[in-house]
A = this chain, B = another copy of it.
């Protein structure tokens, strides 16, 4: 009576995790300096020193409350500090009482999706290809269907005609992710506006809310001179999911938050459903020490230039070799067109050169691979001859 779906999820690791584990084996065999593990977005910029300092000072003054239960939705003061920061920085108009602290963005997504879908298997959730593969896992956990919208392959923005056609009366939610994993593409305000306009029309047409979930772990990892448009200002029925993992180089600590837009229809009910979903999935509260760390981390990031330099370096050098590369605006990734149609075969071939590149199939498009921009500068440079050899193999 083991759950077959869970067994299959556990036995078939994500393509990313699979490569990550293969990388470990290769590193033991060839030495880690000779393996170019572009597989996992594990931030390598040192975490801001204030984080370790504040951890120490919290532990120094540790009364019981530091390690004690907080409210299930998180410490009230911490939530208010987040709201104040976001409102000051992004004119976000969010409220502390609609913020819910989460065990990372994955928890935020799985909780939100469970809350805003009926549980009935007719529900549909739209994702824009290419997309982070775990979205499918969390959508299925909510017993809803994954509906994939194709990209415009020139810009890697959504194909808006396809988007319009795929919204049905059963659409419960739409997930966006900018800067994007895996393309690095940033959605400028006019793109978001277009997307929200379509959604608003469809809400009217079908006469029910369609929730827009904005997954923002890369919000501050932005290489271009653009202001981040806070989605709560553009679309009422929106939920923001954030994690400190990538921006503050603390991905193992699983700390983040989600926000229900103050203007969301029945906001307090949506928030209550989120509290219920968190409870149902076994989340009691976000880790308390890291909750109390948040006020000291707001707006604090590790050195984003490390990623920017690597991203632009990879983009330029790979282009010189002959690869077609999507120009990254942010995030931890560079999206590379495979010189053959079959991205899985290309990724396999790359392994022979000790290059670990994630094939794009699991992101919902074919013919690309994803490389991370968070290897060290030196390791990134040393990988170039391998990329050249790999390219030449297909010439």
Contact = CB atoms under 8 A, between A and B. Distances in A.
Interface of A: 1-11, 17, 40, 42-44, 46-47, 51-53, 55-56, 59-60, 62, 64, 66-70, 72, 103-104, 106-111, 114-119, 123, 134, 137-138, 140-142, 172, 208-209, 249-255, 266, 269-277, 279-291
A289 B287 CA distance: 11
Nearest to A171: B1
A284 B67 contact: no
Contacts of A290: 287
A295 to B, nearest CB: 16
A108 B253 CA distance: 18
A174 to B, nearest CB: 13
B56 A10 contact: no
Contact of A59 (B55, B62, B66): B55
A290 B42 CA distance: 19
A289 B55 contact: yes
Nearest to A62: B52
Nearest to A277: B6
B253 A67 contact: yes
Given A116-B1, A289-B253, A106 B40 contact: no
A10 B72 CA distance: 10
B72 A47 contact: no
Contacts of A107: 282-283
B9 A279 contact: yes
A107 B284 CA distance: 8
Contact of A280 (B46, B103, B141, B270): B141
A6 to B, nearest CB: 4
Given A60-B52, A251-B69, A276 B116 contact: no
A172 B2 CA distance: 9
Nearest to A8: B276
Given A8-B276, A9-B276, A276-B11, A252 B1 contact: no
B115 A273 contact: no
Contacts of A9: 275-277, 279-280
A173 B67 CA distance: 32
A2 B107 CA distance: 18
Nearest to A275: B10
Contacts of A118: 1-4
Given A1-B118, A1-B123, A2-B270, 8 more contacts: A3-B118, A4-B119, A6-B114, A6-B115, A7-B273, A103-B283, A106-B282, A141-B281
A67 B243 CA distance: 14
Between A208, A252, A289, the greatest number of chain B beta carbons within 10 A of the residue's beta carbon is seen for A252
Contacts of A288: 252-253
Contact of A138 (B6, B134, B282): B282
Contacts of A281: 110, 141, 281-282
Given A279-B10, A282-B110, A44 B64 contact: yes
